[in-house]
Structures are given as structure tokens and as C-alpha cells.
């Protein structure tokens, strides 16, 4: 049942106030409010236990068996096994039961072990110690025993055990610094604030005296949103109400930094924490190949039932003639005669099902499991995917999806830490048209050769010097950077200079650090924030102090931030920095054209640009600003809207100072990887929680967007100006203008004949697009928005989704998965915020970066760097797919060849269910005689050299959309199997129908007659069968090694030796009655040898002819490259031979 729906119904019809039910009241320290203040209604909340495991000790066996028998093949073999147990069948139950038991047991052990590891990880988290304040004392308890309302103490470098509201910190200003690397991949420090009225309670005794309640919304997954209020009961009866927002909420999994300790109250626990709500359940993923196998299995099941039905009907038609009833020596008992004809017919039908059951190969599933498991080691052993910096290579967490790596159509990637290194470098700044470029400044690390300052253009004159210094001061003051004085942070020594500890900068935004560092190299050093005063060291080594009065924080809609400061002389300044689009419209004076030209130049280079402006405030204006801000901040309703209006009023009439340019370094070869993925026909989407400008700059730098790309925006800013309906239809008309309603092909993204489009969408707009249509809302909204949005996306070569919550990333992936083309999706990310997306996609890949290993642990595959994705898909994915596609088709083919002669044989044995082959041959055909060659092929086959696959990504398109397992190819293999089976059976039948073709070609006499009975006939057919299917695989093999030769020819030799042994030739005590001397007798006949060779050649001929014609007339890209490679090899051989002949002739003449 949907509990949110139930809550809404209760609130609507009972309470009459919908929002009331959707909120919770938390009593801090479990203290009741004062009498008469408000009703005390204790609520039940879950404990703090985290559960990521799938099974328990009690439900493992039934649940696992249920999941395994949901697979069609397993269920089918179970039914066949039960039939063999119940009725008298031509073959033993062991032939079906043993392989089934093996598959079920191996799979159960594998899944049980994986779940045991999840249990182990859960226990480690749930038993982690936390410190709780009770009656003024610190009590240590396990994390799982934490309850909503408990007051928790967290020390520096500890992680938060649940979602907490910050009450007080060790700092006097009530702030603390947090890294959310394990949540959103950001390694930078973010600032959080304690409630103003509780920040003074910073000891165990004091915090225990707080009397307050918190009213807040029920748990919801948006990491960036929180609405609540705290009611603090002081001496007087009326409580003091203070608003609570996301700046007060500490999320589970984040880590406390640069703050000695904090006190906070548990607000959401266990599976109700925001990160737990963002985790998708880990469902079993199935590959496209496995789905194809299941489809083929159903077809072959229908063929099997059809065969059994035909034989059953024909048996009773044949026996209708009294002269053709069962022979006297096999006369049925009276009880058998008494049985109803329908029961007899049903029993015969089941017996035929068991006889022909081998057409569905249980061994194929065992071979596929082995191929996937062993094949996965090629990824882990790949030295090209080993990263020396991290000292680790690629990991395979699940081998079930290897071949899916060769079928990817959409790649969804995170930005920070995945495409980029999250390492900002200050490039330049421009003041009134003058450009300043310091040498390499990078996140507090002064690189080599950074002593000087390069000035590009001419230096400013004396008149402009004041503006220049004001710009440097503005950048030094307009930020939220903190100064760290210690030697180490996160265990890494930083800021060490000549053996002494020096300060360095930390911030929630890495580019702020780069800007402040850039100013330091240009002569203005930000020293610290102390007692609400910001201190700067200027070029004359004088310390300037500015009182920090207000901070107007950055938000994605305004796209700017401001500070209001007061200088030593008493002047009020408002400094503002932000995106050019957010600053230029608010400028009233300054050298706008010069600065705009430089900003546009840097934007084209893919740099992150910010504009800086200021204005002076009089004391009266400052008082008005304070009044505006305080009234907006205290509003409990529409707080965000009122703050936005206040900011809009304050931030205007600026004087432009200049602009800055910062580069977020891309990971090595990230742009090359994305370009290769595009050429391979994949569409790449970037899903990030970052702001739009930053993400867009990265997309340009990584070649996701090119200079010719026309950017389409579907953002909050645009939907505020126009309705969502109008914006979507405008965009739809734009992308379809050139080609009517025709949807561009997936692979036309790089074509020059189309205008390239890139779409940018933000999280808020996406929510509106995905919002379900209200009942009776009409067709123009809701559900239709998804279709229009998808149509726009299909026609865009790249899509950027910014300001995304973790669950929204998963929703995007799910939306594309469910679209009518049902494309194969891949998600790649490095943070815990990417886990939902990784679990939702068909294939999930985690980057083992600096931001923890949660993404890597929850992924199907883990790689050290984004660049390794290229080889994983274009080489490993390509090989895995062509190998397993051949394996699946070949298995069905060789089983048709195997069992169709058995079907034909029933027409010649009175439909008596007589097996054509001996029991040993029936059992060992798939297990021993033909299993190893195809297993080895599926592990080491390389139809094209891997260097060519890397250099030419377009080869990936040859295998796209499951092209090697389509129905026409499947039908071809099936008919090829039927043709070969007919050749085996009737070839052997007609060759030996003439009785003179026996005993080494001599005419038969009474003394020399050698009875070619049914076992000899069956053995002859079986011999031709084994040699034909093995040589068919040899013809398909392109990559020959000594192992191939050993296994292919060794398998044929093993068959011959086994047959000789089984016939009792070498060891007479093995004289198995019906096969005694049969094989030797067959080989003693010259015509038998001739017929074996002839039948093998006739069977292989159609496939060879078909291949030659197809390669000559309709070659694929892959086949063209194979032919070019063969031609080059032939030329080298001929040249070498020619040179050898010339050398020989020359040496002869000299002699």
C-alpha cells in the first residue's frame, strides 16, 4: 500500500488540514513541553538500523529457490526431472537432475556469499559506537539503538550516524564545517549553522537543559531541501520560534571537519534518512542476451512439444492396425491394457518429451555461467586498466552483465570526480580590460615556477589602480572560504613551507579556493575571519580589516552571491560575484564591453567565468537592507520566495569591476573517451548536482558540447517566464524544424548535415516534467510532457541535467529505459549520490576516486578513472558480446543437429521411443564431447585485434541493438541445424541401405555378414555429428592459439578413444552389452570412413558458401577490416617468399 496516499486521505477527510499529517514533532532529549504549552503526543519512529541485505537466515532457501525457478530454463528442467521420476522414461532421471542441481547449488552459493558480505557491512555500520547525551552525561551506545530525539555529540573527523539538526558547536559563532564526499562526491568543506538561540549551549550539562520541540516535514529524499521550525521554551510561557532550513540539517554519512565537536538532535533515523531514501533496492539485473536466450528457449520448447505431440499421434495411428501392434515379446500386461487410452497417450507424450528433451541444453546455462565467471577475470587482469596512483585495477562485482557492456546505447555520467578531478586552477582575471595571469595556482598548492606575475596587455594607469585594488579586495572578501592553520587535513599534509605550518584555504566551493589563492599570488592575501571581521594582507604588507555584516548566499536561480562589509573608515560596500548573465543586466557603469569580450573568450575555452561588481551603501541604505533581510529570514511561510525578492531589491545598480576565469581540470583523456563513445553511437548524458554554468563549462571542455552545438535550455529561469507547456513545445518545434516529425537516428549525432542540439535541464523542471497528470487533467499535461521531453532528448546529441537530487538521476535513467526503443543504459559515477542511478541502469560502473567507495561497492563494475570506460566498452564489451552470441547460437544449433535425427528415427522404429544413441553418448555429448571447444572460443576469441577496436569506435555499431542474436540469425542457425541433421540421418541411412556396402566393401555371405544394427547406425550418425559441429566452430574461429588446437582436435580424439574404450576393445571388462565392438566394427568398414568424410563436407558446405557470398556482396565494417588484415598478411608472406627466392638465386649465381 502507498502510505503517502493513505496519509493524504486521512488528513483530507479526518484532520481537514493536509500539511499537518505530513509533518512530525520531535521532542529534543525526549522532554515533554511545559504544561499548557502544547499537547504531548509521542510518536513512533524507526530505529537507526540500516538494512541493505536481501535475505535473512530463515528466508534464504525459499526466497532464493523461488527467484531461481522464475528462470524459464530452471523451471523447465525441474518439470522434466519430476516427469522422469514419476513415469517410466527412456532415459535416467540423473541426466536431468544432476546438471540442474549443480546450477541451482552454484548460483545459491554465489548469491548467498554476496548477501553475507552485505550483512557484514550492515552490521559494521549498525554496531558503530555513537555518543548520546543523557541526564547531562555522555553515554556510549550502538548506532542502531539511536532514537529520534536523542542529542548526539559528534567529534572532528567522525561521520554523522543519522540526519541531525545542529544545536551548538565548539565554535563561538555556531558554525561547523562538513565534507559530503560520500553523499554527493564533493570533497570541499561546506558550512552549516546552529540555531541562534541554542548555539551557546555547548557543554554536556548546558545542552541537557534545552527545552524545545522541532516541527518538520516527514522524511523525503531531496538532499537539498528541508523545511521546519524549532520552538524553544525559555523562562516565559510563549515559545520562541525559529525557522530551520537545509543549512541546519546534517546528513547521515557526511563527515565533521575543522570543528572540534558539535551537539545535534536526531531528526530522521535508519531507513528514513535522506540517503537511505535515495538508495534504490538492488534488484537482479538481466542482460539482453539472457532475455534472447529465454525467447529462444520458448521457441525450442514449442518445437519440443510439437515433436512429442506429432510422435504420440503417429504412434497411435500406426498401432491402429492390429498387425502393427506391439510385438508378442513385448506384450503389455493386463493392467496396462485396462488403462484409459488418454492416460496411455499422455504417458507416451511425456516419454517423448523426455526423449527429445536434449534439444533444450541445460549445459548451455552451466557453460554461460562459467564463461561469464572466467571471462570477468580478463577485465581484472587488464594492465591498461590499472591505475598506479590508486594502486588498483578494475573490479568486477557481478559477472552476469559482461556482454551488456557491448550493447550500451545511453551513457549517464556524473560530473564532479567522474569527468573532472574536482581540482580547480585559477587561470586569469580581467580588471577594466586589463588581464592578469599568475603562474599555476591550484587549490592552495603553489606549483613550480610560480614566483612571478605575468601581465597581459598594458598595466593600468594610476587612475585605474584604485579600481584594480578594489577588484582584488572584492574577490578576497566575497566568498565563504575558511582558513585552516593546522599541518594536516584528512591525513594529508598541506600548506607546509620550509618545514613550518602555514595556513591554507577550505571552502564548500573549490573554485572559491582557487580565486582566493589567485588573489594571493597577485598580492592580496585573505588571512582569516575573526570576530566577524575579515582580514586581508595587501601588497604593502598592511593588514586591512573589514567587518562582515551580511552574506547573501549563492543559489542556482540568482546565480550570484553577495557580501556586505564595513571598512575601517566606516564605508559600507556591497560586493557581488556571479555568472555574467546574472551580473551584466544589473550594471549601471563600468567597462562592460571590454569585460564581456574577455568573458566570452574564456567561455569558449571552457573556463568557468565569474563577474565581480560592487556598490557603496549609505548608513540609511544599509539599515533598509537589514530590515528587508531580517523580515524575509523570519518568515515561516514562503521563506525562499521572500528572500529571493529581498535579494533582487538589494542586488542592483552595480559598478562593474572585472571578471575571473577558473578551470576545473578534466580527468586525463575524459574528452577523448566521450568523443569515442559518440563515434561508437552512444548518447552521453551528464547528470550532476552542480550549478548550470559550471556543468555547461565542463561539457564544453569534455567535448560533450561542441562550438557548433545549439544549446536548448529547459530550466527554472525559463519556465518562470513561460509556462512549461509552451517551453516544451517551443523546443520540440526547434529540434524537429529541419526534418519534420522524423526522429533522428541514434547514430547521427556527429553527422554534419544536421544542426547539433544540446539540451540543459535542471532538477526542478525535471520534477515538473515527470509529475503525473492530475485526474481528469486532460492530455495536454502530465503524461504527455514525458513524451515531448523524450522526443526532444532523442534529437539532441548530448543532454546535461544539473541540480539533480540522487533519486532524480535514477528517475532519468528509468525514463529512458522505459521509452519505446528500450535502449540499454549505463550509469557511471563516483559518489554515494550516484548509487541510485548506478543501481537503476542496466549496467552500473563506479569510479574508485577520492570520494569514498560507496559507488564502487554498489556498482556492477568499478574502474579507477573515467578514461578506462573506453576500453571496457569498445574492447571488452565488444569481445564479450560476440563471444556469448556465438556461444548461444552454437549451443542451439548443435542440439538441433543432435536431437533431430532422433526425431526422424522414430519413423523407422514404430514410434517406440527407442533412442538412436547410446545412453553414454546422450549424457556426454553436451558435457564432454562438444563443451570445451565452445567454452574456450567464448573466452579467447578475438575476431579483430583490440588495437583496431580502440582506434575505430564505429566498429561498436556492428554489434549494436543485439544484432547477432536477432530472429533472422537465430532462424538461420536453426535451419542450418535441421539441414545438417537431415544430411547425417538420411546420408547414413541411404549409404547403408544397400546391403552390399558392408564388410570392407565385400559382397555379403553367410560367414562374412556384419550386422549393421541400430547401435551401429546410431554410432555412425553420432560420429558425423560430433565431427561436423566441432569443425563448424573451427571454421568460425579467427584467433588461433595452441590452446584452440589442443582443445578442438583433443575433443575429437577424446571422442574416438572413449568410443573404443566404451566398446570394450582395449579393456574387455568394459564389454558393455549393446555397444560391444560396435565402434571398432564401424571403423573396419571402408565405406563408413568414406561416408563420414563425405557427410561432414556436405554438412559444412552451405555455411561456407553463405559466408563467402555475404562477405563478397554485403560485408560489414568488421568483415572489411578482417579482409584488409588478411590481404596485408598475404602480401607480407608473398613479399617474404619473393625476397627469399631472389636471395637464393643470387647466392646460387655467386656460387
Q: Reply yes or no on whether 150 is catalytic.
A: no
List 163, 414, 762, 1103, catalytic entry: 414
Q: What is the mean pLDDT of the chain?
A: 79
Nearest to residue 939, comparing CAs of 401, 367, 292?
367
Q: Which of 50, 186, 124 is nearest to 806 (CA)?
A: 186
Residues 609-638 have a mean pLDDT of 84
What distances in angstroms separate CA 395 from CA 232, 604, 949, 1088, one per listed residue?
52, 37, 22, 53
For residue 2, pLDDT over 50 is answered with no
**Which residue, chain included where needed, has cell 582436435?**
1049
Q: How far apart are CA 632 and CA 643, in angstroms?
A: 5
Q: Which tens digits make up the pLDDT trace of 441-482?
A: 444 333 333 333 444 444 455 556 788 889 999 999 998 888
Closest CA to 810 of 770, 870, 860: 770
Q: Which helix (H) or strand (E) holds 80?
A: helix 72-86
Helical axes 931-940 vs 1042-1062, angle rounded to 10°: 170
Lowest pLDDT segment from 210-224, 347-361, 731-745, 978-992: 731-745
pLDDT band of 8, cuts 50, 70, 90: very low
Query: pLDDT digits over 913-935, tens only?
Result: 777 887 778 878 887 888 899 99
Residue 93: partners with Cβ closer than 8 Å, 6 or more residues away: 81, 84, 85
| Residue pair 741/692 in contact by the 8 Å Cβ criterion | no
User: Residue 1008 — very low, low, confident or very high, per pLDDT cuts 50/70/90?
Assistant: very low
What's the confidence (pLDDT) of residue 1006? Answer: 36
Mean pLDDT of 126-147: 89
Q: What is the pLDDT of residue 607?
A: 76
Cell of 93: 532421471
Question: pLDDT class for 819, splitting at 50, 70, 90?
Answer: confident
pLDDT tens column, 514-536:
899 888 888 888 988 877 788 89
pLDDT of residue 780: 46
The per-residue pLDDT for 205 is 86
Q: Are 1023 and 1062 in contact (CB under 8 A)?
A: no
CA angle 677, 823, 701 (to 5 degrees): 30
| Neighbouring residues of 374: CB distance < 8 A, sequence distance ≥ 6 | 939
Q: What is the mean pLDDT of residues 1014-1027?
A: 85
CA angle 182, 841, 879 (to 5 degrees): 110
Query: Would you say residue 267 has pLDDT above 90?
Result: yes
pLDDT recorded at residue 331: 56
The confidence score (pLDDT) of residue 510 equals 74
| Average pLDDT of the residues in 805-830 | 87
Least confident of 23-32, 33-42, 615-624: 33-42
Please give the share of the chain, as a percent, with pLDDT higher than 70: 79
Is 80 exceeded by the pLDDT of residue 1098? Answer: yes
Q: Check residues 735 and 132 and name the one with the higher pLDDT.
A: 132
User: Which of 362, 396, 368 is CA-nearest to residue 382?
Assistant: 396
CA dihedral 759, 762, 765, 770 (to 10 degrees): 80
Please spell the DSSP secondary structure of 823-888, one letter per residue.
--EEEEESSGGGHHHHHHSSEEEEE--SS-SHHHHHSSEEESSTTHHHHIIIIIIHHHHHHHHHHH
**Angle between helices 72-86 and 341-356 in degrees, nearest 10:** 130
Cα gap 222→768, rounded to integer Å: 15
Between CA 674 and CA 867 the distance in angstroms is 9
Q: SS3 letters for 768-818? A: HHHCCCCCCCCCCCCHHHHHHHHHHHHCCCEEEEECCCHHHHHHHHHHHHC
Distance of alpha carbon 863 from its chain centroid, rounded? 12
**H/E stretch holding 1102:** helix 1086-1113
Q: What sign for the dihedral angle of Cα 812, 818, 820, 824?
A: positive
Most confidently modeled range among 153-162, 545-554, 998-1007, 1079-1088: 153-162
Cα separation, 419 vs 409, whole angstroms: 19
Average pLDDT of the residues in 116-122: 85
Three-state SS sequence of 228-274: EEEEECCCCCCCEEEEECHHHEECCCCEEECCCEEEEEEEECHHHCH
Rounded Cα gap, residues 252 and 159, in angstroms: 7
pLDDT at 358: 78
Residue 416: pLDDT band (50, 70, 90) is confident
**Closest by Cα among 890, 873, 1002 to 950:** 873
Q: Give the C-alpha separation, 713 to 758, whole Å.
A: 9
Nearby residues of 237 by Cβ (< 8 Å), 6 or more positions away: 34, 36, 37
Residue listed under C-alpha cell 586498466: 385
Q: What is the sign of the dihedral through the CA atoms of 221, 226, 229 and 232?
A: positive
Sheet holding 228-232, edge to edge: 23-27, 212-217, 228-232, 240-244
Evaluate if residue 6 carries a pLDDT over 90: no
User: For the segment 710-759, what is each residue's pLDDT rounded down to a tens digit?
Assistant: 888 888 878 777 788 888 888 888 887 755 544 444 443 444 455 778 88
Q: Count of CB atoms within 10 A of residue 602's CB?
A: 23
What pLDDT sits at residue 150? 92
DSSP SS3 for 589: strand
Cβ(1015)–Cβ(1074) below 8 Å: yes
Return the pLDDT at 1139: 61
Distance of alpha carbon 667 from alpha carbon 305, whole angstroms: 57
Q: What percent of the chain has pLDDT over 90?
A: 15
Is this prediction's pTM over 0.75? no
Please tell me what DSSP assigns to residue 606: T
* Parallel, antiparallel or unpaired: strands 608-617 and 560-566: unpaired
Lowest mean pLDDT among 372-386, 952-966, 1056-1070: 1056-1070
Residue 873 φ/ψ, nearest 5 degrees: -85, -50
pLDDT for 961 equals: 85
* pLDDT recorded at residue 573: 92
Amino acid at each position: 500500500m502507498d502510505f503517502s496516499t493513505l496519509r493524504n486521505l486521512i488528513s483530507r477527510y479526518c484532520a481537514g488540514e493536509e500539511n499537518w499529517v505530513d509533518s512530525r514533532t520531535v521532542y529534543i532529549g525526549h522532554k515533554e513541553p511545559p504544561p499548557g504549552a502544547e499537547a504531548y503526543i509521542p510518536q513512533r519512529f524507526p530505529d537507526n538500523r540500516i538494512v541493505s541485505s536481501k535475505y535473512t537466515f530463515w528466508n534464504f532457501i525459499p526466497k532464493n529457490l523461488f527467484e531461481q525457478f522464475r528462470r524459464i530454463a530452471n523451471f523447465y528442467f525441474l518439470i522434466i526431472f519430476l516427469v522422469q521420476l514419476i513415469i517410466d522414461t527412456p532415459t535416467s532421471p540423473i541426466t536431468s537432475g544432476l546438471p540442474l542441481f549443480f546450477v541451482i547449488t552454484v548460483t545459491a552459493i554465489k548469491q548467498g556469499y554476496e548477501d553475507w558480505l552485505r550483512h557484514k557491512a550492515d552490521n559494521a555500520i549498525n554496531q558503530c559506537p555513537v555518543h548520546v547525551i543523557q541526564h547531562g552525561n555522555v553515554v556510549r551506545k550502538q548506532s542502531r539503538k539511536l532514537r529520534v530525539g536523542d542529542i548526539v555529540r559528534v567529534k572532528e573527523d567522525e561521520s554523522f550516524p543519522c540526519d541531525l539538526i545542529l544545536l551548538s558547536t565548539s565554535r563561538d559563532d555556531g558554525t561547523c564545517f562538513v565534507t559530503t564526499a560520500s553523499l554527493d562526491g564533493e570533497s570541499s568543506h561546506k558550512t552549516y549553522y546552529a540555531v541562534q538561540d541554542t548555539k551557546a549551549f555547548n557543554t554536556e550539562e548546558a545542552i541537557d537543559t534545552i527545552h524545545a520541540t522541532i516541527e518538520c516535514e516527514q522524511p523525503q529524499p531531496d538532499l537539498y531541501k528541508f523545511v521546519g521550525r524549532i520552538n524553544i521554551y525559555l523562562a516565559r510561557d510563549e515559545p520562541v520560534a525559529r525557522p530551520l532550513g537545509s543549512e541546519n540539517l546534517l546528513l547521515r554519512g557526511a563527515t565533521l571537519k575543522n570543528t572540534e565537536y558539535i551537539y545535534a538532535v536526531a531528526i530522521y533515523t535508519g531507513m528514513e534518512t535522506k540517503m537511505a531514501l535515495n538508495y534504490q533496492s538492488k534488484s537482479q539485473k538481466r542482460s539482453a542476451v539472457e532475455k534472447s536466450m529465454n525467447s529462444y528457449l520458448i521457441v525450442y520448447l514449442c518445437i519440443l512439444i510439437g515433436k512429442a505431440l506429432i510422435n504420440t499421434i503417429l504412434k497411435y495411428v500406426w498401432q491402429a492396425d492390429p498387425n502393427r501392434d506391439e510385438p508378442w515379446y513385448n506384450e503389455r500386461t493386463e493392467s496396462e491394457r485396462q488403462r484409459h487410452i488418454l492416460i496411455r497417450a499422455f504417458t507416451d507424450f511425456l516419454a517423448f518429451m523426455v526423449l527429445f528433451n536434449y534439444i533444450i541444453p541445460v549445459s548451455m546455462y552451466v557453460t554461460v555461467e562459467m564463461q561469464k565467471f572466467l571471462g570477468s577475470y580478463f577485465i581484472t587482469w587488464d594492465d591498461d586498466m590499472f591505475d598506479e596512483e590508486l594502486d588498483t585495477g578494475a573490479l568486477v562485482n557481478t559477472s552476469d552483465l559482461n556482454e551488456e557492456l557491448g550493447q550500451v546505447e545511453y551513457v549517464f555520467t556524473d560530473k564532479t570526480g567522474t569527468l573532472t578531478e574536482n581540482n580547480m586552477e585559477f587561470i586569469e582575471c580581467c580588471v577594466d580590460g586589463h588581464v592578469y595571469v599568475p603562474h599555476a595556482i591550484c587549490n592552495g598548492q603553489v606549483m613550480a615556477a610560480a614566483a612571478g606575475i605575468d601581465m597581459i596587455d598594458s598595466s593600468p594607469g594610476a587612475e585605474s589602480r584604485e579600481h584594480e585594488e578594489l577588484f582584488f579586495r572584492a574577490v578576497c572578501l566575497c566568498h565563504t572560504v575558511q582558513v585552516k592553520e593546522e599541518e594536516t587535513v584528512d591525513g594529508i599534509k598541506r600548506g607546509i613551507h620550509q618545514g613550518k605550518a602555514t595556513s591554507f584555504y577550505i571552502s564548500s566551493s573549490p573554485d572559491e579556493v582557487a580565486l582566493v589563492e589567485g588573489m594571493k599570488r597577485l598580492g592580496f592575501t585573505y588571512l582569516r575571519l575573526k570576530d566577524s571581521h575579515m582580514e586581508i594582507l595587501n601588497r604593502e604588507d598592511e593588514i586591512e580589516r573589514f567587518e562582515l555584516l551580511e552574506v547573501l548566499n549563492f543559489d542556482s536561480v540568482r546565480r550570484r552571491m553577495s557580501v556586505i562589509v564595513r571598512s575601517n573608515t566606516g564605508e559600507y560596500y556591497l560586493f557581488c560575484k556571479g555568472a555574467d548573465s546574472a551580473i551584466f543586466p544589473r550594471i549601471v557603469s563600468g567597462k562592460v564591453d571590454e569585460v564581456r569580450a574577455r568573458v566570452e573568450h574564456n567561455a569558449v575555452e571552457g573556463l568557468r567565468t565569474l563577474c565581480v561588481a560592487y556598490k557603496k551603501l549609505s548608513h540609511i541604505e544599509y539599515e533598509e537592507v537589514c530590515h528587508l533581510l531580517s523580515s524575509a529570514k523570519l518568515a515561516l511561510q514562503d521563506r525562499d520566495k521572500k528572500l529571493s525578492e529581498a535579494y533582487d531589491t538589494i542586488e542592483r545598480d552595480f559598478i562593474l569591476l572585472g571578471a575571473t576565469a577558473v578551470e576545473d581540470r578534466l580527468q586525463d583523456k575524459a574528452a577523448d573517451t566521450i568523443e569515442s563513445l559518440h563515434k561508437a553511437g552512444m548518447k552521453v548524458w551528464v547528470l550532476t548536482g552542480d550549478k548550470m554554468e559550471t556543468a555547461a563549462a565542463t561539457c564544453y571542455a569534455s567535448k560533450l558540447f561542441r562550438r557548433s552545438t545549439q544549446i536548448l535550455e529547459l530550466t527554472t529561469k525559463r519556465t518562470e517566464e513561460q509556462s512549461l507547456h509552451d517551453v516544451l513545445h517551443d523546443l520540440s518545434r526547434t529540434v524537429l524544424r529541419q526534418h519534420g516529425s522524423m526522429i533522428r537516428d541514434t547514430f547521427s549525432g556527429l553527422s554534419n548535415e544536421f544542426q547539433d542540439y544540446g539540451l540543459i535541464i535542471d532538477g526542478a523542471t525535471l520534477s515538473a516534467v515527470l509529475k503525473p497528470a492530475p485526474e481528469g487533467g486532460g492530455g495536454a499535461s502530465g503524461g504527455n510532457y514525458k513524451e515531448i521531453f523524450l522526443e526532444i532528448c532523442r534529437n539532441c546529441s548530448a543532454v546535461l541535467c544539473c541540480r539533480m537530487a540522487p533519486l532524480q538521476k535514477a528517475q532519468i535513467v528509468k525514463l529512458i529505459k522505459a521509452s519505446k526503443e528500450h535502449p540499454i543504459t549505463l550509469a557511471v559515477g563516483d559518489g554515494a549520490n550516484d548509487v541510485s542511478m548506478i543501481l537503476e541502469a542496466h549496467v552500473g560502473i563506479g569510479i574508485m576516486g577520492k570520494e569514498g567507495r560507496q559507488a564502487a561497492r554498489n556498482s556492477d563494475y568499478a574502474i579507477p578513472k573515467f578514461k578506462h570506460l573506453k576500453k571496457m566498452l569498445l574492447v571488452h564489451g565488444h569481445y564479450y558480446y560476440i563471444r556469448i552470441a556465438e556461444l548461444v547460437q552454437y549451443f542451439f544449433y548443435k542440439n538441433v543437429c543432435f536431437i533431430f535425427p532422433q526425431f526422424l528415427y522414430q519413423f523407422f522404429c514404430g514410434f517406440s521411443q527407442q533412442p538412436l544413441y547410446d545412453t553414454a553418448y546422450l549424457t556426454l555429448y553436451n558435457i564432454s564431447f562438444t563443451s570445451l571447444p565452445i567454452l574456450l572460443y567464448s573466452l579467447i576469441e578475438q575476431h579483430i585485434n583490440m588495437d583496431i577496436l580502440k582506434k575505430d569506435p564505429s566498429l561498436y555499431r556492428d554489434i549494436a541493438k543485439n544484432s547477432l542474436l536477432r530472429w533472422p540469425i537465430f532462424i538461420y542457425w536453426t535451419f542450418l541445424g535441421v539441414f545438417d541433421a537431415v544430411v547425417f540421418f538420411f546420408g547414413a541411412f541411404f549409404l547403408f541401405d544397400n546391403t552390399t556396402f558392408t564388410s570392407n566393401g565385400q559382397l555379403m555371405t553367410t560367414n562374412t555378414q556384419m550386422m549393421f544394427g541400430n547401435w551401429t547406425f546410431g554410432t555412425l550418425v553420432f560420429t558425423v555429428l560430433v565431427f561436423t559441429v566441432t569443425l563448424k566452430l573451427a571454421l568460425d574461429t579467427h584467433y588461433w592459439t595452441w590452446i584452440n588446437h589442443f582443445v578442438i582436435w583433443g575433443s575429437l580424439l577424446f571422442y574416438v578413444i572413449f568410443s573404443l574404450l566404451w566398446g570394450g576393445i582395449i579393456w574387455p571388462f568394459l564389454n558393455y552389452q549393446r555397444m560391444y565392438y560396435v565402434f571398432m566394427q564401424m571403423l573396419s568398414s571402408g565405406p563408413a570412413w568414406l561416408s563420414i568424410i563425405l557427410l561432414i563436407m556436405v554438412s559444412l558446405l552451405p555455411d561456407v558458401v553463405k559466408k563467402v557470398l555475404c562477405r563478397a556482396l554485403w560485408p560489414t565494417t568488421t568483415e572489411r577490416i578482417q579482409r584488409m588484415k588478411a590481404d596485408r598478411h598475404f602480401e607480407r608472406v608473398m613479399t617474404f617468399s619473393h625476397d627469399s627466392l631472389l636471395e637464393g638465386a643470387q647466392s646460387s649465381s655467386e656460387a
